[in-house]
Structure 1
């Protein structure tokens, strides 16, 4: 082949390469959309979060897969899950996207009114009685900061799921997390309605509860909640018996009010009911003092300006027994 022929061939190859990449552009925002789809578990949920249509999200993913030349998501009529290639991309993508968001968010330090979003994962009781009231106060102070609270009792990886912080009972945390108390120490109350107790003897010790119809709770992982008591150094733990098993404190309170049995609830849920006589507290001298809720966040991750302000607000707050 002559030198001119080789040059012509190189020019043609270069044109083909340019043509190929011009047909398959790679948009950086499509990478963020891909992460949203996986985190939200589907196109529709991601679309709602971004304020666009599901078809727009689907089209962005298709363009991204075409640009990369590989399938990133397995799609069924009911779910969307990353392929092996998608998992590998996510592992590298999440830290990079977090760094980009943080770099942009750091400009908040130069604003008179900081903005941004704080995403927190918390069990229902913590969200209901501690986290939500604090978040409402915080948003009054910082009107341009958004707060998203997801109630979930399951133990999750908050970094992997895209949360800035989480809430758990006591210090049940991974080693790479920083924790701070969120609210005062906790206590459970054992309660039943006057109707339930009308024709029944009241328990005088925790073991007497085994003779009653107790309202049981099952954790998301399947474990049944046990009831723990303490008095004068004597600790008693029982596995309650009963016909009704529920999965949330709100349901247990409703069941107790209806006379369906004896409930085991945080005091915050039934304090007003006790004061107004809707339920009667049992075994009050057997209350065991428990750890507080803890807010935790990654120690090896640069937090955004909005998150730093929220954490500082928590540190400086004065807690009382009633929030």
Structure 2
């Protein structure tokens, strides 16, 4: 009885992660119908709906999300048992699924990814480059790297990898027809490039040299949901952007961007790793986080 329920839970995890009964069942050599029956048995056993089914998508209910989180622990325990029999349980094996912001991911994570794959030949990595803060569980990722996320959803662990200084920046070409601002108030005459995602709208609060806090005002004609897109807009001379030093430090050093209001402070921004809470954290996840933390700390941060 327990064994059959565990099998059904593993099929349920696969259905959630692939987003369909067809793909979820195929991972276990099962038909769509058989995978659907496995989920139906779980719903009958627990007396509640686990998935809301539509013609286009499968959405977890609250009960389904809870079962998914516990199911991950079951799967991790099985994988740990397999590894302990097959070899060193501290050796990463299998597929690691990571999501990270586009700019940060491409320029700062990929070197770590390459080194990780070279070091651990029994691993594979699947990466998604997106600034959207998707539900890591429902999208099947083992790990999310995010900027400025400090309060993750319940059931997630957050580990700060690096704190990077936030800087105002603009291309020299932007100031060819404009005066450079000498204080925060003068930003009101400039084009500001700001981050926006869904209902979230970025605002800038800076501390001037005398300690006064000031909310920056200006003409916001372009908002993007990608930090890399904001960087490219700044490089193109479209306005002033607020980005982390870890993203634009090289641009400033090479003169492609310049530091605007260098005496004003915007504080530091955390770059964090988010992963589902597990009693047994997979070796492949733990090793990658440790390696990424070391690599990021070698970057010019503050």
Shared fold (TM-score, shorter chain, > 0.5): yes
Q: 1:113 to 1:39 in 2, by over 3 A?
A: closer
CA contact (8 A) 1:227 1:240 kept: no
Q: Give the 5 Å matches for 1:116-131.
A: 116-124=94-102, 126-131=104-109
Which residue number in structure 1 is paired with residue 298 of structure 2? 320
2:51, 2:22 → 1: CA distance?
A: 15
Unpaired runs of at least 5, structure 1: 1-25
Choose which of 114, 119, 126 in structure 2 pairs with 1:141.
119
Equivalence for 2:145: 167
> How many pairs were matched up?
292
Deviating more after overlay: 100-109 vs 134-143: 100-109
Q: Which has the larger radius of gyration?
A: 1
Does the 8 A contact of 1:212 with 1:262 survive in 2? yes
TM-score (structure 1 length as normaliser) = 0.69
Summarize the Cα distance change of 1:85–1:209 in structure 2 as closer, same or farther, 3 Å threshold: closer
Of 239, 259, 273 in structure 2, the residue corresponding to residue 295 of structure 1 is: 273
Cα separation, 2, equivalents of 1:111 and 1:296: 22
Q: Distance in 1 between matches of 2:217 and 2:24?
A: 41
**Which residue in the other structure is 2:227 paired with?**
249
* Residue 164 to residue 105, structure 1, CA distance change in 2 (3 Å): farther
> 1:32 Cα deviation (Å)?
2.6
Structure 1 partner of 2:177: 199
The answer on whether the counterparts of 2:170 and 2:257 sit within 8 Å (CA) in structure 1 is yes
**Structure 2 Cα separation of the partners of residues 44 and 207 of structure 1:** 58
Q: Which residue of 2 aligns with 1:259?
A: 237
- Relative to structure 2, which stretch is displaced further, 203-212 or 71-80? 71-80
Superposition pairs of residues 145-294 of structure 1, within 5 angstroms: 145-153=123-131, 158=136, 162-169=140-147, 172-173=150-151, 180-183=159-162, 185-220=163-198, 222-232=199-209, 234=211, 235-294=213-272
| CA contact 2:109–2:292 (8 Å) conserved in 1 | no
> Counterparts of 1:66 and 1:171 in 2: how far apart (Å)?
36
Q: Which residue of 2 aligns with 1:307?
A: 285
TM-score (norm 2): 0.73
Q: Once the 2 structures are TM-superposed, how far is the Cα of residue 248 of structure 1 from its aligned partner?
A: 0.7
Change (3 A) 1:66 1:104: same
Q: CA RMSD in A?
A: 4.1
Change (3 A) 1:251 1:100: same
Q: 1:82 to 1:226 in 2, by over 3 A?
A: closer
Secondary structure (helix, strand or coil) at the match of 2:201 reads coil
Unaligned runs of 5+ in 2: none
Cα separation, partners in 2 of 1:152 and 1:103, compared to 1, 3 Å: farther
Correspondence list, 1:39-118, <5 A: 39-43=17-21, 50=27, 58-64=32-38, 73-82=51-60, 90=68, 93-107=71-85, 109-110=87-88, 114-118=92-96
Greater percentage in strand:
2
